[in-house]
Amino acid sequence: MTIRILEGNRANALLRTHCDQKKVPVQAVIRLVEIENEHVGSGRRHAIFTQIDQLLSEFTEATDASR
Amino acid sequence: MHLAKVELVNWKAYVGEQAFRFPAPTRRKNVVLVGAPNGFGKTSLLEAIAIGLYGREGLGLVARADSSGDQERKRQSYRAFLQSAWSTQAIDEADLLMKIELTFEDSDAGDDATIVVSRSWTFSNAGVLGDGEELSIFKGLKRRRIVPGKHDEPEDYFRSWIARHLMPSHLAQFFLFDGERVQALANRDMASQVRMGIEGFLGVRLLRDLDDDLDKYVRKERSGIQSVHSDTLHGLRTRRDEIESSLVVLGQRATDLEQERNLSQKLDEDLKGRLGSMGGGSVASVKRLLEQKQGVRTTIDSLTEKLLEVISGDLSIALAGRVLRDQLLDRLNAERKLEESRSAMETGSAKVERFIHALEGAHPAFDPSLTEAQRTTLAAKVRSAWTAIWNPPDEGCASSIRHSSLSNIDRSEVSTRLGRVRALGDRELEDLLHRLDHLREDESRLERQINSLSGIEEPLRKLTEEFTQSTRRTAELHQSLEATRREIAALQRELGETRARLTAEENRLELNKPLEAKLALAERIRELIGPFIEEATAERVNDIAERMTEAFGAMAHKSLVRKIEISDDCQVRLLTPENFDVRSLDASAGENQVFAFALISAIHQAAAVRFPLIIDTPLARLDARHRENVLRHFADNGGEQIIFLSQDTEIVREFKAVLESRIAKTYRIDTEKRGRRTLGRARLLENEYFS
- Three-point CA angle A11, A14, A15, nearest 5°: 85
Please give the residue that has the higher pLDDT: either B390 or B102.
Answer: B102
Task: Determine the Cα–Cα distance for residues B86 and B120; give it in Å rounded to an integer.
Answer: 11
Distance from CA of B658 to the nearest CA of A (A): 33
Q: Which of B148, B201, B521 sits opposite A56 (nearest CB)?
A: B521
Q: Which residues of B touch A52 (CB under 8 A)?
A: 213-214, 217, 522
In the predicted structure, residue B448 carries a pLDDT above the cut 70? yes
pLDDT at B506: 86
Cross-chain Cβ contact A60/B518 below 8 Å:
yes
Which among A3, A4, A14, A63 is the top mutation candidate for probing chain B, defined by the most B β-carbons within 10 Å of its own β-carbon? A4
Judge whether B121 and B134 are in contact, CB under 8 Å: yes
Could you say which residues from 4 to 63 on chain A have a Cβ atom under 8 Å away from some Cβ of chain B? 4-6, 10-11, 14-15, 18-19, 21-24, 28-29, 32-33, 36-37, 40-46, 48-49, 52-53, 56-57, 59-61, 63
Average pLDDT, integer, range B11-26: 92
State the angle between helix axes of B71-85 and B42-54 in degrees (0 to 180), rounded to the nearest 10.
130
Q: Which residues of B touch A59 (CB under 8 A)?
A: 521
The Cβ-side half-sphere exposure at B300, using a 13 Å CA radius, reads 19
The top-scoring range by mean pLDDT among B282-286, B429-433, B562-566 is B562-566
Nearest to A36 by CA among B152, B170, B523, B213: B213
Nearest to B20 by CA among B614, B611, B650, B604: B614
Q: Which residues of A touch B542 (CB under 8 A)?
A: none
Distance from CA of B621 to the nearest CA of A (A): 34
DSSP state of B130: P
Please give the residue that has the higher pLDDT: either B459 or B371.
Answer: B371
In the predicted structure, residue B268 carries a pLDDT above the cut 70? yes
Strands B176-178 and B144-145: unpaired
Q: Which of A33, A43, A48 sits opposite B152 (nearest CB)?
A: A43
Distance from CA of A22 to the nearest CA of B (A): 6
In the predicted structure, residue B576 carries a pLDDT above the cut 70? yes
Please give the residue that has the higher pLDDT: either B303 or B23.
Answer: B23
Judge whether B33 and B667 are in contact, CB under 8 Å: yes
pLDDT at B54: 94
Task: Determine the Cα–Cα distance for residues B640 and B610; give it in Å rounded to an integer.
Answer: 7
Task: Determine the Cα–Cα distance for residues A22 and B521; give it in Å rounded to an integer.
Answer: 9
With bands split at pLDDT 50, 70 and 90, how would you rate the model's confidence at A48? confident
Average pLDDT, integer, range B210-214: 92
In the predicted structure, residue B76 carries a pLDDT above the cut 80? no
In the predicted structure, residue B19 carries a pLDDT above the cut 90? yes
**pLDDT tens figures, B634-683:** 888 877 899 999 998 888 888 888 888 999 999 999 987 665 554 678 89
Judge whether B615 and B643 are in contact, CB under 8 Å: yes
Strands B572-575 and B144-145: unpaired
State the angle between helix axes of B372-389 and B322-361 in degrees (0 to 180), rounded to the nearest 10.
160
Residue B599 CB neighbour total at 10 angstroms: 27
In the predicted structure, residue B33 carries a pLDDT above the cut 70? yes
Verdict on whether the full-model pTM lies above 0.80: no
Judge whether A38 and A30 are in contact, CB under 8 Å: no
In the predicted structure, residue B363 carries a pLDDT above the cut 60? yes
Cross-chain Cβ contact A43/B157 below 8 Å:
yes
Dihedral pair phi/psi, residue B570, rounded to 5°: 65, 25
Could you tell me where the DSSP H helices lie in B128-229? 154-165, 191-202, 204-223
As a whole number, the mean pLDDT across chain B is 84
**pLDDT tens figures, B604-633:** 777 667 889 999 988 877 888 888 888 888
Q: Which residues of B touch A48 (CB under 8 A)?
A: 213
Q: Which of A32, A45, A63 sits opposite B210 (nearest CB)?
A: A32
Lowest model confidence (mean pLDDT) among A4-13, B210-219, B273-282: B273-282
Alpha carbon B268 to its chain's center: 78
In the predicted structure, residue A38 carries a pLDDT above the cut 90? no
Average pLDDT, integer, range B161-186: 81
Q: Which residues of B touch A49 (CB under 8 A)?
A: 213, 216-217, 220
Please give the residue that has the higher pLDDT: either B467 or B585.
Answer: B467
Please give the residue that has the higher pLDDT: either B571 or B50.
Answer: B50
Dihedral pair phi/psi, residue B97, rounded to 5°: -110, 140
In the predicted structure, residue B127 carries a pLDDT above the cut 80? yes
Q: Helix/strand/coil (H, E, C) string of B279-312?
A: CCHHHHHHHHHHHHHHHHHHHHHHHHHHHHHHHH
Please give the residue that has the higher pLDDT: either B136 or B164.
Answer: B136
pLDDT at A67: 44
Average pLDDT, integer, range B533-547: 85
In the predicted structure, residue B64 carries a pLDDT above the cut 70? no
pLDDT at B415: 85
Residue B47 CB neighbour total at 10 angstroms: 26
The top-scoring range by mean pLDDT among B176-180, B201-205, B332-336, B408-412 is B332-336
In the predicted structure, residue B475 carries a pLDDT above the cut 80? yes
- Cis, bond preceding B368 (omega within 30 deg of 0): yes
With left for phi above 0 and alpha for psi between -120 and 50, is residue B89 left, alpha or beta? alpha
Distance from CA of B165 to the nearest CA of A (A): 7
In the predicted structure, residue B198 carries a pLDDT above the cut 90? no
pLDDT at B499: 93
Buried/exposed code over B389-404 (b: 16+ C-beta within 10 A; e: otherwise): ebeeeeeebbeeeeee
Average pLDDT, integer, range B81-100: 83
With bands split at pLDDT 50, 70 and 90, how would you rate the model's confidence at B227? low
Which among A6, A10, A26, A36 is the top mutation candidate for probing chain B, defined by the most B β-carbons within 10 Å of its own β-carbon? A36
CB-based contacts of B92: which residues, under 8 Å, 6+ apart? Answer: B675, B677
Indicate the burial class of A23 (C-beta count within 10 angstroms; 0-12, 13-18, 19 or more). Answer: exposed
Q: In what order do the strands lie in the sheet with B2-11?
A: B14-21, B2-11, B97-105, B115-122, B134-139, B144-145
Residue A67 forms contact with B (CB below 8 Å): no
Q: Which residue is closest to A54 within chain B, CA to CA?
A: B518
pLDDT at A28: 94
pLDDT at B215: 94
pLDDT at B588: 74
Which among A3, A12, A22 is the top mutation candidate for probing chain B, defined by the most B β-carbons within 10 Å of its own β-carbon? A22
In the predicted structure, residue B260 carries a pLDDT above the cut 60? yes
Cross-chain Cβ contact A43/B216 below 8 Å:
no
Which among A31, A40, A49, A63 is the top mutation candidate for probing chain B, defined by the most B β-carbons within 10 Å of its own β-carbon? A40
Q: Give DSSP secondary structure letters for B462-477.
A: HHHHHHHHHHHHHHHH
The Cβ-side half-sphere exposure at B504, using a 13 Å CA radius, reads 19
Please give the residue that has the higher pLDDT: either B509 or B676.
Answer: B509
Please give the residue that has the higher pLDDT: either B351 or B229.
Answer: B351
